[in-house]
Each structure stands twice: as C-alpha cells, then as structure tokens.
Amino acid sequence: MIGVPLQIGDITLASNMMLAPMAGYCDLAWRITCRRYGGVGLACTDLLSPHGLLRGTQQSLDLARTDDEDQPVGMQLYGSDPAIMAEGAIWAADHGATIVDINMGCPVDKVVKKDGGSKLMCDLPRAVEIAKAVRKALPDSIPLTAKMRLGWDDRAAADGCAARLAVELVDAGCAAITVHGRTTEMRFKGECRLDAIAEVVEAVRTHTGNRIPVIGNGDVTSAEDAIEMIRRTGCAGVMIGRGSLGRPWIFRDCWALQTTGQIPPQPEPNEIAEMIRSFFEMMIRYRNERYAMHKLRTRISWLIKPMNTRAVSCRPLRDAIIHVKDAGQVFGALDEFRAGGLRLVSTSTSSAAP
Ligand SMILES: Cc1cc2nc3c(=O)[nH]c(=O)nc-3n(C[C@H](O)[C@H](O)[C@H](O)COP(=O)(O)O)c2cc1C
C-alpha cells in the first residue's frame, strides 16, 4: 500500500496521508496551511457536537467552518445518541462534509461521561447502532468512517475489541476505519502498538478483502515513520496529528518518500516565517484577531523549532511573538525576521566555518 492513494467509498484521495482531528488545533486555517504544502489526502475537523451544530452555537459553527480550498474534508461527530448523531450527520452533509466520521476514541472526561468518544468501545452494540443510524441518514455519496482506539484498557485490547468493532462497523456501512494504536487508559502515554493496529487491518481484510481501508495512527513524526507504519501494520493509509504541528509539510514529505523515494528539501527559515504569516492571517480572516493572537502564542514554539539550526537560533522571533500586543506587531516581527533580524547567530559555529 506504499504510494497508493486511498479510496474511501467512491472518493479517491490524492494520497494515503491524512491530517488527524485535534481539538483546538486543526481549525480551517491549519488544515489549509497543511494542504498548501501538498500530500494531504484528507483533513478532518476537530470533534463536533451534533447538539451544537443543530442549535447553531457560534463555537460549533466556527469549528465546522470549511471552504473550497479545504477539500476533501471529513467532519467528525461525537455523541452517544443515534438519532442526534444522524441529525448531526445530515447537518454536516448539508454544510460541506465530503466524509462524516464518528469519534470512538476520545478519552476526555467531558466526552466519555456522556457515553461518547472512546466510551463507545465499551458498548459495541451502541457504537454499531450509531453507525447504522448515521449511515442511513447520509446520502449515498458521502462515506461514513469511524476513528477508534484499541479498546478501553489492556484487557479489552488483548480481547480484540478494536478488531471486533471494526468488522461490525464495516457491516454497519463504514467505508474506512482509523485506529490509534493506544487504549483509552494509555491516553497519549506509552508506545503506539503497531502490532495491535496490524490485527485490526488483518481482521478487516479477512472480512472484506481489500475493499475497506484501515488507517493507522499514532506517533508518526517523520516520513520514515509513516512508511514503517504501513510496512509493519499493512494499513492502507496513515493519519498524523501531533507530528504535523511544527511541520505542516510532513504530509508532502511522507507522500514524496513513498512515491519518489526522496524527501524534498526542508523549507528555509524565511519560507517558514511566510507560512506563519499566512496561517496567522487566515486565523484572523476566519475567526478574529484575538483568537489568532492566542493560538499563535500557544503554537509559536512548535512553529519556530524547525527554523533553528546549529548556527542560528530563532528564539528572539518566538519571544517577540509571545510578547507583542496586536496583529500589526506580529506582522512587524515577521517582517523584521525576514529582513535578517530577530535571530541569534552563534559566533563559535560561524567562525569555525571555512
Ligand atoms: C490536543 C489533541 C486533541 C485531539 N482531538 C481529537 C479529536 O477531536 N478527535 C479525534 O478523533 N482525535 C483527537 N485527538 C487524537 C488524534 O487525532 C490522534 O489520534 C492522536 O494524537 C495520535 O496521533 P499522533 O501521535 O499522530 O498525534 C487529539 C489529540 C490531541 C493531542
């Protein structure tokens, strides 16, 4: 499956790489930032409350916002009531979703206390009932997918919870399954279990032939990791979350390594500064200045990281962005950086250069 674009239902993606939903991180501005580098077959909204969508709360509408450049897009719903989830799916279909995804992996209290997210892995009949209701509500042209973990805990994982659920979800009409190789109890700790993802891949393949793709997810932070995930699990695609936060070009790299055997040159610091500017501008355009300032401050350390080399530290740019007061000053700091300022050049390294 290396270098083969994913097919989900009737939709052929441009690659087998996907941007993971990450609440608070994968807004429209970030999805477009990743897409502009290439290699993103599918990006997904953060988890959406069908109640919020149906009531039209501003927060839900902001999270569900998409546009023509943000295609194809998955909209991810969470909840435990089949009827409400079905209504939410219809809303998503009417508001630009290419694919609708059901969250069966979120470990956050607010979600599992209401029996949604990964709590659904403790109640497979309900999970399947939701998938059936959502599938029935959606037009045939919109594939349904589900994203899960290995199970609630080690016992459930050892008992093959994810493989069983995946097969039942396929029978209920899911056109692809994503598996994050951890249990709910692990949250984000411990190693992602590739062997357990492989078991889900095998179960779905045995059940359906190669008709339904399984997408592997967890701890992929480089193009080499993505290829290892595919080789070791047999998965048809790879989803990346945290590994993209400082390097939105990771999807391009993963796809290039699969299809050409080479990783393109990494972006220069000034190109990265340009990416930060356009990300920031989009956050202002799609939301507002306050939101953009807040999000940029929380993410600038990740974004700056690949700009540092052994000889040059871009920490002064990071410090400037954390301390400035308004958007104009952010643009000013980025301009100063592009003109050669706001960086520390290590004299010991430069004097050692030939
Ligand atoms: C801050 C954060 C928010 C997340 N939000 C969601 C979410 O809304 N829906 C979802 O299915 N998974 C969510 N996840 C899980 C990721 O999609 C992914 O499964 C997990 O981070 C493992 O992949 P990674 O190692 O590539 O990050 C979130 C993860 C993080 C770190």
How far is residue 180 from each of residues 24, 105, 114, 184, measured CA to CA in Å? 19, 8, 21, 10
Q: Which atom in ligand 1 lies closest to the alpha carbon of residue 219? A: 25
Confidence of residue 216 (pLDDT cuts 50, 70, 90): very high
- Mean pLDDT over 120-125 rounds to 98
Confidence of residue 1 (pLDDT cuts 50, 70, 90): confident
- Mean pLDDT over 103-112 rounds to 97
Q: Which of 106, 174, 254, 314 is catalytic?
A: 106
Instruction: Return the best residue to mutate from 112, 121, 145, 242 for the ligand 1 pocket (most ligand atoms within 8 A of CB).
Output: 242
What residue owns the CA closest to ligand 1's atom 5? 22
How far is residue 229 from each of residues 14, 180, 226, measured CA to CA in Å? 19, 11, 5
Which residues is 19 bridged to in the sheet?
Answer: 43, 240
Long-range contacts of 116-121 (CB under 8 A, 24+ apart): 116/78, 116/79, 116/80, 117/47, 117/78, 118/148, 118/149, 118/152, 118/184, 119/80, 119/152, 120/80, 121/148, 121/149, 121/151, 121/152, 121/156, 121/161, 121/162, 121/165, 121/184
Alpha carbons 84 and 202: distance in angstroms, whole number: 32
- Mean pLDDT over 268-281 rounds to 97
Task: Determine the pLDDT at residue 217.
Answer: 99
Ligand 1 neighbourhood includes 150 CB (under 6 angstroms)? no
Task: Determine the pLDDT at residue 346.
Answer: 85
* Percentage of residues in the chain having pLDDT higher than 70: 98
Confidence of residue 353 (pLDDT cuts 50, 70, 90): very low
Look up 106 and say whether it is catalytic: yes
**How many Å lie between the centroid of ligand 1 and the Cα of residue 350?**
40
- Mean pLDDT over 302-325 rounds to 95
Q: Is the pLDDT of residue 348 over 90?
A: no
Query: Quick one: 7-260 is in which CATH superfamily?
Result: Aldolase class I (3.20.20.70)
- Mean pLDDT over 117-141 rounds to 98
Ligand 1 neighbourhood includes 182 CB (under 6 angstroms)? no
- Mean pLDDT over 296-323 rounds to 95
How far is residue 165 from each of residues 129, 136, 159, 322, 348, measured CA to CA in Å? 12, 19, 11, 45, 58
Task: Determine the pLDDT at residue 354.
Answer: 40
- The per-residue pLDDT for range 327-342, each reduced to its tens digit, is 999 999 999 999 999 9
- The per-residue pLDDT for range 144-197, each reduced to its tens digit, is 999 999 999 999 999 999 999 999 999 999 999 999 999 999 999 999 999 999
Report the chain's mean pLDDT, rounded to a whole number: 96
Instruction: Return the best residue to mutate from 17, 22, 193 for the ligand 1 pocket (most ligand atoms within 8 A of CB).
Output: 22
Ligand 1 neighbourhood includes 217 CB (under 6 angstroms)? yes
Task: Determine the pLDDT at residue 351.
Answer: 43
- Mean pLDDT over 84-98 rounds to 98
Alpha carbons 281 and 335: distance in angstroms, whole number: 14
- The per-residue pLDDT for range 51-88, each reduced to its tens digit, is 999 999 999 999 999 999 999 999 999 999 999 999 99
Cβ count near 264 (within 10 Å): 15
**How many Å lie between the centroid of ligand 1 and the Cα of residue 259?**
26
